[in-house]
Amino acid sequence: MSRAEIVVVTGGLGFIGKHFVRQCLDKGHFVKNIDRISYAADRLVNAEFSQSSNYRFHEANICTLDFLPECDIFVNFAAESHVDNAITNARKFCETNFLGVQNCLELIRRKHEHERPRFIQISTDEVYGDIRDGSHAEADPLVPSNPYAATKAAADMLVKSWGRTFGVSWNIVRPTNNYGTHQYPEKLIPKSAWRMKRGLPAIMHGDGSYIRSWLHADDTVRGISTVIEKGRRNQIYNIGSTEERSNIQVLRRIAQILSIEERAAFVAASDRSGQDIRYSLDDSKLRALGWSQMKKFDEEIIEIVEKLDTSRFV
């Protein structure tokens, strides 16, 4: 987005979405944020954004949205994303992650072809399933392991089919595991740090050997912008990370930052159903456009843990 654009963002009060909205406003773009304000929404950041004359907010659910405002780019972050919740209640994930995307695509399709925005679907590395060795490339088959991943994979298929059948212009972006400031405390880092700070042990699934590639949200939104500005239309782009850590390594690092003995820092629980062993993405396609990972996990996690603020979600 080299010139000033009108950008519609869905789920812009969510974790990655709010980082993207802030980036767009900093670049001088006009942002229309559509968010249903779920339990995980950051209400304080909405007040911050509202101070900008380039920001508009509309409370709505993408499943029932019936009007698409004038825009150049449509970026869909809106999603149910917590795997534990998907195992408990998959229907909500099917509604938002699949039918919500279908509704957004239909709103774009109904526009005159010269008025249609480019649709950017924010997907996930989990659509590929796990991989013991090597990394997944964009052309690899989708083998989701849990209901959340399945609904995201299904949405990706919708996007590609609306492109081929109706001529909707699109990109699918698949980032790996995100971390950063002001993340809702149901994810591993904020939840574990919050519990440890309160004198409670963090909960570790299984033996903690499951490996994730950790990508800072700031690097993610730079990657998304790189796709929008330089990527080829109707293409998929992975956003990976060189920062691999097992869950137990992350918990030990949090305990170390908080000066808590390991034996008191966390307790093991049973494995989660559909647990993936390891995720890893080949993002050479995105790196060829000039993007690179800038944030270092071992540096960033210190500030995240020390300055953890969960009050904005209470």
- Predicted local distance difference test score (pLDDT) of residue 225: 98
CATH code, domain carrying 85: 3.40.50.720
- Contacts for 101 with CB less than 8 Å, ≥ 6 apart: 62, 76, 121, 155, 158, 159
- Predicted local distance difference test score (pLDDT) of residue 83: 82
State yes or no: is 35 an active-site residue.
no
Residue with the bigger pLDDT between 272 and 59: it is 59
The overall average pLDDT reported for the chain is 95
Reference 192, options 277, 45, 310, 313; nearest CA is 310
Is the model's pLDDT at 76 over the cut of 80? yes
Catalytic position from the list 35, 126, 218, 300: 126
What is the chain's length?
Answer: 314
- Predicted local distance difference test score (pLDDT) of residue 290: 98
- Predicted local distance difference test score (pLDDT) of residue 314: 67
Average pLDDT over residues 127-133: 96
198 within domain boundaries: no
* β-pair partners for 245: 212
- Predicted local distance difference test score (pLDDT) of residue 6: 97
Task: Enumerate the H helices of the chain as residue ranges.
Answer: 15-26, 43-49, 83-88, 90-93, 100-109, 147-166, 188-197, 217-230, 247-257, 262-265, 284-287, 297-306
40 within domain boundaries: yes
47 within domain boundaries: yes
Catalytic position from the list 128, 148, 179, 184: 148
- Predicted local distance difference test score (pLDDT) of residue 2: 56
Catalytic position from the list 35, 42, 80, 125: 125
Please, which pLDDT band fits residue 79 given cuts at 50, 70 and 90? Answer: very high
Please, which pLDDT band fits residue 72 given cuts at 50, 70 and 90? Answer: very high
Is the model's pLDDT at 27 over the cut of 90? yes
- Predicted local distance difference test score (pLDDT) of residue 313: 76
Please, which pLDDT band fits residue 89 given cuts at 50, 70 and 90? Answer: confident
Average pLDDT over residues 221-241: 98
Domain count of the fold of the chain: 1
Quote the tokens at residue 198.
Answer: 């309160």
Average pLDDT over residues 46-56: 97
- Model's pTM, two decimal places? 0.95
Compute φ and ψ for 268, nearest 5 degrees: -85, 140
State yes or no: is 186 an active-site residue.
no
304 within domain boundaries: no
- Predicted local distance difference test score (pLDDT) of residue 222: 98
- Predicted local distance difference test score (pLDDT) of residue 283: 98
- Contacts for 158 with CB less than 8 Å, ≥ 6 apart: 98, 101, 102, 105
Tens of pLDDT, residue by residue over 191-221, are: 999 999 999 999 998 889 999 999 999 999 9
Is the model's pLDDT at 4 over the cut of 80? no
State yes or no: is 125 an active-site residue.
yes
135 within domain boundaries: yes
186 within domain boundaries: no
Q: Which domain holds residue 20?
A: 6-181+215-240+281-293
231 within domain boundaries: yes
CA–CA separation, 115 and 109 (whole Å):
10
303 within domain boundaries: no
